[in-house]
């Protein structure tokens, strides 16, 4: 089996301060994992704020370069991807989805312009009608249509709809890997599950692997195949998602698991939570 | 369990009535840009009571009007927000029909002594260029009698309740972690032993592990000083752990209210039912559906019941008239024609 994404002892250190009092922050320490090319999966990175999960996501997206170690995408070391032509090819295959869709889109630009430009940039060929069809296809995958989005500005859509447009935009280049950094934490509860279900559908129908970065153990349990738990840059536990979350071994994972606020508490023991 | 009556509130009238009584409260945002008038009815005819020593939760998605409701109750009303009608009367402020109608001197007397707030961003509450000792003096000193030294001792004793030691008083807000800062704001909000605390998403910005500690702390202090709390968050897990009663808001209206246990065990309104059923749970991976459609635009809400375009039980009457809150069991009210029967008013 060949690896789609192969992280080999990835480290990232930030240096803060000047010559005399520099402080080193180890954001990511010696992280290794593999995502197989033949078997698309949802790979979840779990951790609190400051655990280095977003830094790791940025390294996977090649926005940040690891201090040491290497990250191979489809056999190519990302350190070699430097020219704009190479970057274009890389972005073709790896697409990001960010936490806040309102920040991800330019508020002064109509959404369909975004989608058309993305399409044109990645697949130079095609006239307007072709692009329309491709954009409409991508939007239909996420439960929208071009008619609903055409000539609309980001503020005219709800957070959930806008996050779907962000996913549709990512799909336009036919990526093999999507890196989603906290994609549902800004989305309303009634729409959250439909986005999460969408990720499942992308994996099953289109064979796209997804790196899902989150602090929410419940949605992680619901969709992930494998997870790694990070604490202060170090992977403290990794494995099959259900197994890890059902019976966490590392003290930190146990602590995380214990801190999940289960909705059952209220229904199961009403007397404990009730006042007279 | 019984909660000791608030012994410090000498001015507080006795009686078992609710501490906050909101009745048909309406507030809207009125804007006028380039000749285009827009009225967003963010709070539309909401009525509920909060009892003494009770934690009342408000749940709802973003733009369902929960923060506007809280701002109206707390009289933090700035244009374009306007109160159109209704009352929100506190038992410690009788005769004004709400804090927003009371004169400024009265509001200054009430604030912090009887009514305090815990907000989401602790950085916005604490002055970044003053040490925390000064923040405590700014907020609480006018409401507490006694010498400087006694005041300082009272602050230190109170900080111990939230597991902070006296050294934080010399620190600036940026020197503390998010969890510590939020604990300082809790200490700040409770030091005068207020009768009523408004908490607007106080744990949303915190990490999961810290969140549980902070919730436990709010619970502990609330039990100790016997305050009532109006707790607003969109996180149903937090409500399950903390609140006694729960009101569910949708598009500016209250649609269901019951004890928290009842809401989680037997929700009645289709929206609440969906909300509870769609919560992902560890150890259970049965497929869950998202709700179709999107929350309505409050500048142009659908007629009748505002949930009807997304409702699986929608009937013809739902698009014509607005359902009222009707009690289905003691303490359980719901606004839905499908649940209550569709007798025309």
Domain boundaries, chain A: 38-63+82-260
Query: Which tens digit of pLDDT belongs to each residue from A114-132?
Result: 888 888 887 766 678 888 8
CA distance, residue A184 to nearest chain B CA (Å): 12
CB of A185 less than 8 A from some CB of B: no
| Mean of per-residue pLDDT scores for chain B | 86
In this predicted structure, the answer to whether residue A198 has a pLDDT above a threshold of 60 is yes
- Considering CB atoms only, which of B61, B212, B263 is closest to A190? B61
Average of per-residue pLDDT across B8-31? 73
Structure tokens at A244: 């890890």
Compute the distance between CA of residue B112 and CA of residue A218 in angstroms, rounded to an integer: 38
Q: What is the mean pLDDT of residues A209-238?
A: 92
Q: Which of A62-66, A137-141, A248-252, A268-272 has the lowest mean pLDDT?
A: A268-272
A250 contacts chain B (CB < 8 A): no
A193 and B55 in contact by Cβ < 8 A? no
Check if the beta carbon of residue A34 is closer than 8 Å to that of residue A203: no
Question: What are the φ/ψ torsions at residue B83 (nearest 5 degrees)?
Answer: -90, 120
From the list B233, B229, B230, the residue with the least C-alpha distance to B205 is B233
The alpha carbons of chain A give a radius of gyration, in whole angstroms, of: 20
Q: Could you tell me which chain A residue has the CA closest to the CA of B219?
A: A273
pLDDT of residue B7: 36
What is the C-alpha end-to-end distance of chain B, expressed in Å?
41
Mean pLDDT on B311-329: 90
Q: Is the pLDDT reported for residue A273 higher than 70?
A: no
The answer to whether residue B3 scores a pLDDT higher than 60 is: no
Q: Is B289 in Cβ contact with A263 (below 8 Å)? A: no
CA distance A107 to chain B (A): 18
Query: ipTM score of the complex?
Result: 0.77
Half-sphere exposure of B211 (CA within 13 A, CB side): 26
From the list B207, B244, B294, which residue is nearest A273 (CB)?
B244
| Res B273: pLDDT | 92
- The reported pLDDT for the residue numbered B15 is 54
Q: A190 in contact with B at a CB cutoff of 8 Å?
A: yes
Reported as a pLDDT band with limits 50, 70 and 90, residue B122 is low
Q: Give the 3-state secondary structure of B113-176.
A: CCEEEECCCHHHHCCCCCCHHHHHHHHHHHHCCCCHHHHHHHHHHHHHHCCCCHHHHHCCHHHC
For A238, the enclosing helix (H) or strand (E) is strand A234-240
Separation in Å, CA of A70 to nearest CA in chain B: 30
When pLDDT is averaged across residues B250-254 and rounded to a whole number, the result is 92
Q: What is the percent of chain B where pLDDT is above 70?
A: 94
State yes or no: pLDDT of A276 exceeds 60: no
Q: Which structural domains are found in chain B, ordered by start?
A: 20-114+194-280+288-340 (3.40.50.300)
Helix, strand, coil proportions of chain B in percent (round to 5)? 35, 25, 40
Which CATH class, in words, describes the domain spanning A38-63+82-260?
A: alpha beta
Listing DSSP states for B188-231 in one string gives HHHTT--SEEEEESTTTTS-HHHHHHHHHHHHHHHHHHT-EEEE
B146-161 CB burial, b ≥16 within 10 A, e <16: eeeeebbebbeebbeb
Q: Are A246 and B283 in contact (CB under 8 A)?
A: yes
pLDDT tens readout for residues B224-242: 889 999 999 888 889 999 9
Average pLDDT estimate for B256-282: 91
Q: Do A190 and B291 lie within an 8 Å CB cutoff?
A: yes
Q: Which of B147, B174, B177 is nearest to B164 (CA)?
A: B177
CB-nearest partner of B290 from A192, A242, A267: A192
Which of A132-141, A259-268, B242-251, B276-285 has the highest average model confidence (pLDDT)?
B242-251
pLDDT of residue A199: 92
What band does A161 get if pLDDT is binned at 50, 70 and 90? confident
Q: What are the Cα distances from residue A241, in Å, to A46, A181, A264, B283?
A: 11, 18, 21, 11
Check CB contact of A48 with chain B, cutoff 8 Å.
yes
Mean pLDDT of chain A, nearest integer: 86
Q: Which of B93, B77, B98, B90 is nearest to B25 (CA)?
A: B98
pLDDT for the residue numbered B10: 34
**pLDDT band at residue B23 using 50, 70 and 90 as cut-offs:** very high
Contact B1 A264 (CB under 8 A): no
pTM of the model: 0.84
């Amino acid at each position: 089996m060949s690896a789609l994404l192969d992280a080999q002892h990835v480290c990232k250190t930030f240096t803060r301060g000047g010559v005399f009092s520099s402080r080193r922050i180890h954001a990511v320490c010696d992280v290794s994992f593999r995502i197989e090319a033949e078997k698309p999966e949802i790979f979840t990175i779990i951790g609190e704020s400051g655990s280095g999960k977003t830094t790791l996501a940025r390294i996977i997206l090649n926005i940040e370069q690891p201090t040491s170690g290497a990250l191979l995408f489809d056999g190519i070391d990302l350190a070699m991807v430097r020219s704009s032509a190479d970057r274009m090819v890389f972005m073709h295959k790896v697409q990001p989805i960010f936490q806040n869709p309102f920040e991800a889109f330019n508020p002064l630009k109509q959404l369909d312009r975004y989608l058309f430009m993305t399409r044109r940039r990645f697949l130079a060929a095609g006239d307007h009608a072709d692009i329309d069809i491709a954009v409409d296809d991508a939007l239909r995958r996420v439960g929208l249509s071009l008619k609903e989005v055409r000539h609309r500005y980001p503020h005219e859509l709800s957070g959930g709809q806008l996050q779907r447009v962000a996913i549709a935009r990512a799909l336009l280049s036919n990526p093999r890997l999507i890196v989603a950094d906290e994609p549902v934490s800004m989305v309303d509860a009634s729409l959250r599950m439909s986005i999460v279900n969408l990720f499942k559908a992308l994996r099953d129908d289109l064979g796209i692997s997804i790196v899902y970065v989150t602090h929410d153990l419940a949605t992680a349990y619901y969709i992930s195949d494998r997870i790694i738990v990070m604490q202060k840059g170090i992977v403290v536990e990794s494995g099959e998602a259900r197994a890890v979350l059902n019976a966490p071994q590392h003290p930190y994972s146990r602590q995380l698991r214990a801190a999940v606020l289960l909705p059952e508490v209220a229904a199961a023991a009403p007397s404990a939570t009730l006042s007279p | 369990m019984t909660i000791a009556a608030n012994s410090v509130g000498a001015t507080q009238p006795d009686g078992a009535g609710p501490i906050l009584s909101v009745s048909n409260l309406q507030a809207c945002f009125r804007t006028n840009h380039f000749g285009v008038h827009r009225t967003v009815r963010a709070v539309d005819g909401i009525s509920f009571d909060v009892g003494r020593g009770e934690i009342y939760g408000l749940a709802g998605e973003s733009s369902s009007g929960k923060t506007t409701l809280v701002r109206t109750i707390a009289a933090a009303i700035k244009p374009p927000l306007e109160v159109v009608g209704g009352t929100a009367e506190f038992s410690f402020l009788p005769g004004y029909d709400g804090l927003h109608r009371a004169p400024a001197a009265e509001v200054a007397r009430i604030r912090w002594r009887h009514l305090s707030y815990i907000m989401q961003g602790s950085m916005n509450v604490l002055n970044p260029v003053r040490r925390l000792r000064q923040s405590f003096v700014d907020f609480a000193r006018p409401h507490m009698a006694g010498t400087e030294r006694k005041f300082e001792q009272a602050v230190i004793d109170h900080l111990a309740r939230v597991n902070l030691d006296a050294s934080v008083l010399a620190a600036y807000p940026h020197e503390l972690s998010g969890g510590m800062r939020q604990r300082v704001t809790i200490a700040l909000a409770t030091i005068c032993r207020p009768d009523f605390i408004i908490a607007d998403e106080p744990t949303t910005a915190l990490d999961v592990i810290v969140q549980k500690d902070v919730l436990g702390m709010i619970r502990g202090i609330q039990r100790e000083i016997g305050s009532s709390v109006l707790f607003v968050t969109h996180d149903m897990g937090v409500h399950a752990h903390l609140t006694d009663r729960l009101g569910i808001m949708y598009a500016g209206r209250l649609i269901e209210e019951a004890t928290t246990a009842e809401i989680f065990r037997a929700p009645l309104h289709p929206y609440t039912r969906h909300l509870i059923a769609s919560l992902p749970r560890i150890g259970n991976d049965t497929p869950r559906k998202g709700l179709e459609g999107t929350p309505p635009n409050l500048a142009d809400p659908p007629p009748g019941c505002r949930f009807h375009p997304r409702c699986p039980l929608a009937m013809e009457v739902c698009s014509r008239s607005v359902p009222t809150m009707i009690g289905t069991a003691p303490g359980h009210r719901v606004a839905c024609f499908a649940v209550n029967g569709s007798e025309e008013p």
